[in-house]
Each structure stands twice: as structure tokens, then as C-alpha cells.
């Protein structure tokens, strides 16, 4: 099992923490408000609360914060993230929900990787799952898919093992530039919510034709 540090106190942080604990992983919760982080961790049962600014305890560090502040968080931790696997779950979607705030030809994950120390490895994952769908688990026995992208094979293997411990299926999409495609999938989901599906009680899945 893995040792996980989750930076953030939102819905995705809670959904990931609950599934991680259920999968036998050690979970540390980190938030800018230490008192709230302690309450958050205590409510989960089994998680610990980390200290903002101190080196995260986990081998895997999950950025469960809005994209607008993600790179800044990575920069603040600096060399404390050296040797860590950083999971980027963010979506750099513009306020119009039709475009991105990132420069053309790049992705949020790649921009975050620029802020990370050279010894850290950024892996894109979980950005196509709504928090309540992740918290609820598989629908009617169907396994949820988690698409991942990253440059380091060992880091992706580590993340894949963690995903499997959650009862989910990891699907490797390639190197980190593929994060742009994964972020476009999230934009596609928002388009479905706005124009056809009209709700967020769904997920994207790969089914093979035999």
C-alpha cells in the first residue's frame, strides 16, 4: 500500500481520502488552516493532519486544490517535494467553461511540472471523475476508470498501484503532454452537463468490443 499526502480540504480531497483509507493506504491531510485540517482528518477516521509548509509525509502527494493555486503550492514546498510523485487532479478551465487558462500547446499538468523540483514526477490523474461519483464508487458493479499521463514509468506504476488499491482501473494514456487531452475530456464532460446529460451523475469509461 502507499503513503499519501493530500493537499486540500475540498470534496475531491475527501473522496480520495476515504477511498485511500478503505484501500489500506496511510493518508495525511494538509490544509492552510491547521485546525480545519485536523477536523477534516479526524472526521475521516484514520487519517493524520500534516503541518502546512512542512515536508509532506507521503510518497505520493495529491494536489486537490484549484488549478489557479496549484503551481504556487508546488513552488512553496520546493525541494520538500523532491523525490515525490505529485498527482495533479486539476482542470485549468476558463470561467466560460469553453476554453483553458493555460497557454496554447500545453497543459495544466505541464505548467505544474515546471514549478516542481527536478527530482519530483508529476502524473495527471482523476481529473475526469466528479467528486461524488468517485465517493460513491462503481455504479451497478461497473469499475470506474482513471486515466493517467506522465513522463516517468516508475511514477506511473506507483500511481497505478495506488489507483488499484482504491478499487479503480488505471488506464495509461502516455507521457505528460497527453494531460492536455485529459483536460479536454473534462471540458467535454462540462459540455455534456450543459447541453445533453444535464447532470453530473456520470463518468467516462473505456469498453472494448470483443
pLDDT tens string 49-64: 998 889 999 999 999 9
Note the pLDDT tens digit of each residue in 98-127: 899 999 999 999 999 999 999 999 999 999
Biggest CA–CA distance in the chain, Å, is 53
Contact 148, 159 (CB under 8 A): yes
Rounded to an integer, what distance in angstroms lies between the CA atom of residue 167 and that of residue 137?
8
Rounded to an integer, what distance in angstroms lies between the CA atom of residue 171 and that of residue 192?
22
- The predicted pLDDT at position 53 comes to 81
- The predicted pLDDT at position 52 comes to 82
Mean of pLDDT over the chain = 95
Pairing of β 121-124 and β 145-150: antiparallel
Read off the pLDDT of each residue in 165-182 and give the average, rounded to a whole number.
97
User: Cα 32–33–38 angle (5° rounding)?
Assistant: 115
Amino acid at each position: 500500500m502507499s503513503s499519501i499526502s493530500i493537499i486540500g480540504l475540498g470534496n475531491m480531497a475527501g473522496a480520495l481520502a476515504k477511498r485511500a483509507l478503505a484501500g489500506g493506504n496511510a493518508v495525511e491531510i494538509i490544509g492552510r488552516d491547521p485546525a480545519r485540517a485536523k477536523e477534516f482528518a479526524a472526521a475521516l477516521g484514520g487519517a493524520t493532519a500534516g503541518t502546512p509548509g512542512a515536508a509532506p509525509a507521503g510518497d505520493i502527494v495529491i494536489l486537490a486544490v484549484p488549478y489557479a493555486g496549484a503551481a504556487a503550492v508546488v513552488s512553496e514546498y520546493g525541494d520538500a517535494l523532491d523525490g515525490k510523485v505529485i498527482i495533479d487532479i486539476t482542470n485549468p478551465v476558463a470561467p466560460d467553461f469553453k476554453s483553458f487558462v493555460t497557454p496554447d500547446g500545453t497543459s495544466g499538468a505541464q505548467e505544474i511540472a515546471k514549478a516542481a523540483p527536478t527530482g519530483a514526477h508529476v502524473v495527471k490523474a482523476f481529473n475526469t471523475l466528479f467528486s461524488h461519483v468517485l465517493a460513491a464508487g462503481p455504479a451497478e458493479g461497473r469499475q470506474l476508470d482513471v486515466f493517467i499521463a506522465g513522463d516517468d514509468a516508475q511514477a506511473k506504476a506507483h500511481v497505478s498501484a495506488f489507483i488499484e488499491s482504491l478499487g479503480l482501473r488505471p488506464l495509461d494514456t502516455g507521457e505528460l503532454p497527453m494531460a492536455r487531452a485529459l483536460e479536454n475530456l473534462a471540458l467535454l464532460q462540462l459540455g455534456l452537463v450543459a447541453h445533453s446529460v444535464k447532470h453530473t451523475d456520470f463518468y467516462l469509461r473505456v469498453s472494448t468490443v470483443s
